[in-house]
Amino acid sequence: MIKPRILLVDDDVALTRVLQGSLEETQRYEVRTESNSRKVLGVAEDFRPDVMILDLLMPDMDGGELAVCLRTHPTLRNVRIVFLTAIISKDQLGPHGTTIGQHQILAKPVDTSELVECIDRELTRAA
């Protein structure tokens, strides 16, 4: 069975390692990480993720800018995007996050069950 591919993008390397480990423990996904926003498009072209988890605030290129680049990219425009942010609390977003346009947004810190639920929703929408 082919596992859905998840690309985690955050300049906080420790966070991406923790999230990667948590998602891989579920044995439901193939997960890669990238901490340099300038390398994301190349990594995504090679990896071909089904869902990308993007930090909103990163140096060089933030998650919003990356989302715009993805939407205009010929082979990546259909990748589902979920934003992560520490600038808005879970209390402000509610228990299941909220959306920016068509993209789900989750507040940090995010727990594994919340992230898995969100990823599964995005995979269902993509199907």
What is the SS3 string spanning the chain? CCCCEEEEECCCHHHHHHHHHHHHHCCCCEEEEECCHHHHHHHHHHHCCCEEEEECCCCCCCHHHHHHHHHHCCCCCCCEEEEEECCCCHHHHCCCCEEECCEEEEECCCCHHHHHHHHHHHHHHHC
Domain coordinates of the chain in residue numbers?
5-126
Q: Can you tell me the mean pLDDT for 14-29? A: 96
Q: Tell which wins on pLDDT, 111 or 51.
A: 51
Q: Can you tell me the mean pLDDT for 5-13? A: 95
Q: Tell which wins on pLDDT, 93 or 35.
A: 35
CATH architecture of 5-126: 3-Layer(aba) Sandwich (3.40)
Confidence band (pLDDT; 50, 70, 90) for 90?
low
pLDDT for res 23: 97
Mean pLDDT value across the chain: 87
